[in-house]
Structure 1
Amino acid sequence: MLWIIAIGVAIACCVALLIAVRKRQDHQDETPDDAAARLFYKSQLEGIQEDLAGGRISEAEAIAAKAELAREVMRAKKAAPSSGTSRIATGVVLASLPIAAIAAIGLYVLIGRADLPAQPFAERSFAGSEQELTLETAIAQVEARMEETPNDIRGWLALAPIYMQAGRFEEAANAYRRVLSLEEPTADRETDLAEAIIMANDGELSAEAMGLLQSAAERDSQHVRSRFYIAGELTRIGAFEEAVPAWEYLLSLATGEEPWIPTAQSGLSAAQAGLFVGQLDEPVPDATQDVLIRGMVEGLAARLYDEGGSVGEWMQLVRSRNVLDGADAAQDDLSRALAEVDGMDRIALQDMAQELGLTTE
């Protein structure tokens, strides 16, 4: 139970820090995310109290956990500016997150020892505990413990995300592998390992990582994170026939407020455009088919110029013009498309223009 407190404190600290910059000082305009985070933070405190009441932790242990959590919240409040941009405030929070990580792993070092029986907190020996705890020294202490108790899943769960934060991706992957070997696999754990492998490979998605992501998606049909990686990789390798339904299914899981929706929509548009152009790049058997293809493209152009359309349709038109009529014709359509869209759609068009060697000025 004590290791759960350590991990819980880390999560609660991070959430509390983020709340400090998301909410204005007058507490107006609380978003659904703010409310959810606040309730989660409250639940962590209630969980500590319940463990104390049930005799699962001592009063000293409960006080230590609450005190550490309270200190992190106070630090966040002091660091948060009374005015200024949200970007500055967010920077302060992100800079503070390692402190929360150290607090969590420090609690594991101090009260989460797997080799100790249930023992009052005050009776344990904490030689050197007053020494300043840094991220690297905290990692080293837990690593030393794991050499003695390599099958203690609690230690690997503490180490893996800290390795990721420190940029030690190979070690993070190995830690997640140990976790998966010690417990029943879940979609989240498999995706965690896949992410570590991807980062260790400088962003390249290996066969092992793809296998883990596919397993996660099969294990949980509603798992967004794994499906996002899969759809992106299918688009990257040009498997557009698979990528289009993958993006469509992912978007069907959204409620409408998720921050990843614009990116997924751009991914779908890119896959649709790639599929359309791939069909045009196939050998044309006769003049009749050429006429049909050109008629289809001209019909698309007429509709977009008269009524407008989605960024995916504009991308289809520009790519098609580039294949059929060359860069000048594609440039004309691109200029019109840029005048019709904005935001993430405009960025998608600019990326495509760079790929095709067109200009956006």
Structure 2
Amino acid sequence: MLLWILFSVVTAGAIAFAAEPFLRKARAPVVGPSRRDIYARQIAELEAELSAGRLSAEEAAMGRAEIGRRLLALPPQEAPQPQAAGQGVGPAMPMAAVALAVLVTAVALVSYLKLGSPSLEGQPLAARGEEIARQRQYEDLVAAVEQKLAQNPNDSYGWELLAGAYRRLGRIEDAAAAYGRAAETQGPGGAPAPLWSEQGEVLTMLMDGAVSRPAKQAFEKALAADPKDPRARYYLALERAQKGDREAAITGWEALLADAPPDAPFRPMIEEQIAIAKGAAPIPDAPASP
């Protein structure tokens, strides 16, 4: 059931972006949920799916790690975003929260889109056909977003949405390029830190977890935009560990933990990296990053 819900969210996000010119209308001011609230609900759904036996322990652990990565990118105190009357779909609207929520579906959604769900094998042929049709529908929606961006290549929000879709489809190189376009097409104020750190993360994925020079440059741009950006700080510390500078890595991770809330879901994962750095074992290229 959760997979169908997640697919509906993805579909809604892509349709709303592709049809954005037709969706503008006046509305009363509302307050949307904060991303932190969205992630909290997704953690609860993840645990419910695990308890019901619809997710394996490994999938649940990977899902928690992905949600932890997204939580790292949030500012320490994020308030719900007010929506002014008369606004349409845009990066400051609830649509942005939907797009960001889609990004944390991680393992379950990727497995679904690649037809690798553990429950798929035993499904009737008709149900399997429905899932194949839904995958094709999702790919068609991605193509629609690509077509719209071909007509309006300076739409930064569209590039960000497309980058997330590429990432979920396993098109990591395309995702890195799309995040770069999203950053380059920002307004005069420049790209926000999360865009650069997203690009750095997918560039790291391209190298099987090794923080390459282009990835490091992206993380450094993120810190230039926001010196407290948690994801950039995490990966730059990881880069130091991979280069053999364990002390610098430990210092960076400990500083990150000092700034994180006591109940931050990613805290155990960073503590594990610190323990590895303090031990004799080599730093892995692809750690269980938050």
- TM-score, L = length of structure 1: 0.44
Highest RCO, 1 vs 2 (Cα 8 Å, sep ≥ 6) = 2
2: CA distance, partners of 1:57 / 1:260: 34
Deviation at 1:179, TM superposition (A): 0.9
Deviation at 1:229, TM superposition (A): 1.1
CA deviations over 1:160-197 (Å, ceiling 9, x no partner): 11111111011111111111111112221110111121
1: CA distance, partners of 2:41 / 2:265: 20
Q: How big is the alpha-carbon RMSD for the aligned residues of Structure 1 and Structure 2? A: 4.3
Deviation at 1:218, TM superposition (A): 4.1
Match of 1:94 in 2: 108
Q: Extract unaligned runs of 5+ from structure 2.
A: 1-15, 21-31, 50-66, 68-79, 99-104, 114-132, 285-290
1:170 matched to 2:201? The reply is no
2: CA distance, partners of 1:212 / 1:177: 9
Deviation at 1:264, TM superposition (A): 2.0
The structure with the largest helix share of the pair is: 1
Match of 2:161 in 1: 158
1:240 matched to 2:271? The reply is no
Q: Indicate the SS of the match to 2:154.
A: coil
2: CA distance, partners of 1:172 / 1:154: 14
Give the conservation status (yes or no) of the 8 Å contact 1:194–1:209. yes
Instruction: For 1:1-361, list aligned pairs within 5 A.
Output: 3=17, 19-20=44-45, 54-57=85-88, 94-95=108-109, 134-183=137-186, 184-273=190-279, 352=281
Give the conservation status (yes or no) of the 8 Å contact 1:235–1:270. no
1: CA distance, partners of 2:18 / 2:261: 31
2: CA distance, partners of 1:168 / 1:15: 28
Report the structure number with the largest CA radius of gyration.
Answer: 1
Deviation at 1:217, TM superposition (A): 2.8
* Cα distance, 1:253–1:152 mapped onto 2, change above 3 Å: same
Give the conservation status (yes or no) of the 8 Å contact 1:160–1:176. yes
* Cα distance, 1:146–1:252 mapped onto 2, change above 3 Å: same
CA deviations over 1:321-351 (Å, ceiling 9, x no partner): xxxxxxxxxxxxxxxxxxxxxxxxxxxxxxx
1: CA distance, partners of 2:269 / 2:223: 19
2: CA distance, partners of 1:3 / 1:15: 25
* Matching residue's letter, 1:159: L
Deviation at 1:208, TM superposition (A): 1.0
2: CA distance, partners of 1:260 / 1:19: 16
* Cα distance, 1:257–1:17 mapped onto 2, change above 3 Å: closer
* Cα distance, 1:151–1:218 mapped onto 2, change above 3 Å: closer
2: CA distance, partners of 1:176 / 1:215: 13
Give the conservation status (yes or no) of the 8 Å contact 1:173–1:196. yes
CA deviations over 1:118-141 (Å, ceiling 9, x no partner): xxxxxxxxxxxxx97721101111
| Aligned-pair identity (%) | 26
Deviation at 1:20, TM superposition (A): 4.4
Deviation at 1:143, TM superposition (A): 1.0
Give the conservation status (yes or no) of the 8 Å contact 2:196–2:222. yes
* Matching residue's letter, 1:177: G
Q: Indicate the SS of the match to 2:209.
A: coil
2: CA distance, partners of 1:244 / 1:238: 11
Deviation at 1:97, TM superposition (A): 10
Give the aligned length: 191
Deviation at 1:201, TM superposition (A): 2.6
Q: Which runs of 4+ in 1 moved over 4 A?
A: 2-6, 11-24, 95-99
